């Protein structure tokens, strides 16, 4: 996404000490599974395939900048994803179906976002804080169509994670409540 590259450049200009993911690695996590046994992968794929039948294609709107866990002590810089009923339905359905397989329910509320930087130190944090307070809420990338969900394996490397796609499930016909 062009807007994501632009925000990464703006953040780099602030001189913050951060690791910026490659654009192709930026993703929206619906459910983090952690380390799972290979025998469980097929069962997770089946859950995804059932989800594709119950959820049609929809659009997501990417807007606003923020940080986790707080503006006073930021560690992750993110671009927000506007809550949409189709996204919420998909995420809740996956959460419930994966609980049946034995995955623990997420305790934190679902906060859809795209991670654009992981801070390595507090260098120039005040510049980041000022930037977020002045321009963060008004930042908008635009929208994109969601027509598939993917299951990825994350392989950690010193320069950041590498994502290996294990499965793709195309979503059904475009929904009417997007």
In a domain, 163, yes or no: yes
In a domain, 44, yes or no: yes
Q: Which residues are catalytic?
A: 27, 113
Peptide bond into 44 cis (omega under 30): no
In a domain, 157, yes or no: yes
Mean pLDDT value across residues 113-142: 92
- What tens digit of pLDDT does each residue of 128-172 get? 999 999 988 888 889 989 999 999 999 988 877 889 999 999 987
For the cut 50, the answer to whether the pLDDT of residue 178 exceeds it is no
Query: What CA–CA distance (Å, rounded) separates 58 from 65?
Result: 22
In a domain, 178, yes or no: no
In a domain, 137, yes or no: yes
Tell me which DSSP letter residue 101 carries. T
Q: What is the pLDDT of residue 53?
A: 65
Structural domains in the chain (count): 1
Asked if 50 and 167 count as a contact pair (C-beta separation under 8 A), the reply is no
Mean pLDDT value across residues 11-39: 92
Dmax (CA) for the chain in angstroms is: 49
In a domain, 97, yes or no: yes
In a domain, 104, yes or no: yes
pTM, full prediction = 0.88
For the cut 60, the answer to whether the pLDDT of residue 96 exceeds it is yes
Domain that includes residue 91, residue range: 2-170
- What tens digit of pLDDT does each residue of 30-68 get? 999 999 988 899 999 999 888 766 678 999 999 999 999
CATH number at residue 12: 3.90.1140.10
In a domain, 24, yes or no: yes
b or e along 72-82 (b: 16 or more beta carbons within 10 Å of the residue's beta carbon)? eebeebbbbbe
Q: How many CB atoms lie within 10 A of CB 4?
A: 17
């Amino acid at each position: 996404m062009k807007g994501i590259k632009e925000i990464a450049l703006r953040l780099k200009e602030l001189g913050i000490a951060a690791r910026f993911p490659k654009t192709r690695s930026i993703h929206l996590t619906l459910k983090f599974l952690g380390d799972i046994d290979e025998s469980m992968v097929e069962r997770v794929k089946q859950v995804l395939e059932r989800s594709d039948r119950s959820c049609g294609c929809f659009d997501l709107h990417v807007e606003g900048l923020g940080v986790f866990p707080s503006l006073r002590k930021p560690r992750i810089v993110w671009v927000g994803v506007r809550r949409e009923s189709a996204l919420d339905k998909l995420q809740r359905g996956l959460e419930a179906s994966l609980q049946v397989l034995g995955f623990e329910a997420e305790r934190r509320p679902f906060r859809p976002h795209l991670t654009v930087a992981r801070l390595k130190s507090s260098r120039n944090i005040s510049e980041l804080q000022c930037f977020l307070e002045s321009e963060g809420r008004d930042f908008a990338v635009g929208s994109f169509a969601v027509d598939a969900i993917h299951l990825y394996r994350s392989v950690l490397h010193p320069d950041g994670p590498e994502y290996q796609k294990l499965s793709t499930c195309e979503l059904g016909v475009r929904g009417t409540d997007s």
